[in-house]
Amino acid sequence: MDSISIQLPASKSISNRVLILNALTNWKLNLINLSEAKDTKDLYECLQSDKEVLDIGEGATSLRFLLAFLCYKNQVKTIFCGPSLKIRPIQTLLKVLNEFHCEFEYLEENGKLPVKIVQGIHGNCPEEIQIDTSISSQFVSAMLLIAPYLKNGLKIQFTNQIVSEPYINMTLKLMQHFGVQFIKNLSSIQVFSGKYQMLDYRIDSDWSSASFFYAWLALQDSGSMYFPGLKMSGLQGDEVIASFFLNFGIESIIEADGIHIIKNESLLPDAIDFDFTNCPDLFPPICMFCAIRKIISTFRGLQHLVHKESNRLKILNDFLSVQSVEIKLYENDSRQLTGFYRMDLFNSNIEKVYSAHMDHRIAMAFSLLNVIRKIEIVNPEVVNKSFPGYWEAFNKVCK
């Protein structure tokens, strides 16, 4: 396989955060290479809209950030969303906003969208709050982004285990870049009041999207790919994918304008053990790769996969079970899935057609099956949520 240049999308996670910062500065930041993902476009349109009724689509990050922002602005708005987002957790953030005297009217079911913001943040607000960080880091990030604009700043105390902590760190690093000061320790973050500075900012390419191409190259005998705009800056937690695939012969070479990856000969490890607590989006490509490569694998930190666009744990569990993969799934004392798979069998007689389950990362994970045989994915356009050009890029590597 010849060297192939893959144009990855800009990071959706970074884009959504800096969009909120830009809105808080009344659109005075110069953002370069903003993501074209549908989630980011939906957030941008909602932030720019003068309408009283908004539709945030299917983006959980977009919704949570938008809700906190609109409440800070004390704007009376009604927010609608797509069907899968209706069932994703939002109650933790709503509870926190209630502490800031926000009032909501639920149009269908209590604590779920669609919701009308009747009253935003006002009055004497708490200077310290607690947030349950065991379900999503986005509740913390949503409050962090508006925290400098609160009269006395805000101190956030964490309760329970923190999941996806690199995304909280991403939020803080971006806030720091734009001039906000904070103090972070193991159990809390203190954000001081201030304003975001008007600076230029270029959004890096997305590591979550790169992970599927790392997996594809690792399934080949040889080859190389180049990702312009991809950087190892420490900002995106999913950079860890480079270290993971180093075990499978994928060397990542940092260049001036991107990253070049090369497949070298290597011995497959007998078994691996990987914790997804801080990088849940890497579970679909790593899980599928290990199944195809017949790597005995122990996967931990899977408890919050049930709260994604789909129940990714169940979907991949069901798929692998049909393929005669030996699977054991354990639960810890709190009945949360801590995860693990033992995979040492794989039946190559796979089906020809697969449902994406309206989940962009499930669609991308199933695309890796093309290394075994040509398959078709129902509703392939679901990848537009994060990577509109995925199929064009994937077809380049399949040639």
Task: Please tell me whether residue 284 adopts helix, strand or coil conformation.
Answer: helix
Which residue stretches of the chain have pLDDT < 50? Answer: 1, 333-340, 343-345
Is residue 39 among the annotated active site residues?
A: no
Q: Determine the pLDDT at residue 79.
A: 98
| Single-letter amino acid, residue 64 | R
Residue 394 and residue 399: Cα distance in Å, rounded?
A: 9
How many Cα atoms sit within 13 Å of 314 on the Cβ side?
9
Residue 356 and residue 376: Cα distance in Å, rounded?
A: 10
Whether residue 155 contacts residue 189, with contact meaning beta carbons closer than 8 Å, is answered with yes
Q: Which one of the listed residues 42, 206, 281, 359 is annotated catalytic? A: 281
Q: Determine the pLDDT at residue 335.
A: 33
Q: Which two tokens stand for residue 372?
A: 């075994």
| 3-state secondary structure labels for all residues of 36-101 | CCHHHHHHHHHHHCCCCEEECCCCHHHHHHHHHHHHHHCCCCEEECCHHHHCCCCHHHHHHHHHCC
Q: Determine the pLDDT at residue 349.
A: 59
Give the total residue count for the chain: 399
Q: Which two tokens stand for residue 44?
A: 């941008």
Q: Which two tokens stand for residue 311?
A: 């129940």
Q: Determine the pLDDT at residue 268.
A: 85
Residue 248 and residue 266: Cα distance in Å, rounded?
A: 6
Residue 189 and residue 97: Cα distance in Å, rounded?
A: 17
Q: Give pTM, 2 decimals.
A: 0.92
Q: Which two tokens stand for residue 37?
A: 């993902």
Going by DSSP bridges, is the β-strand pair 115-119/103-106 parallel, antiparallel, or unpaired?
antiparallel
Residue 53 and residue 115: Cα distance in Å, rounded?
A: 10
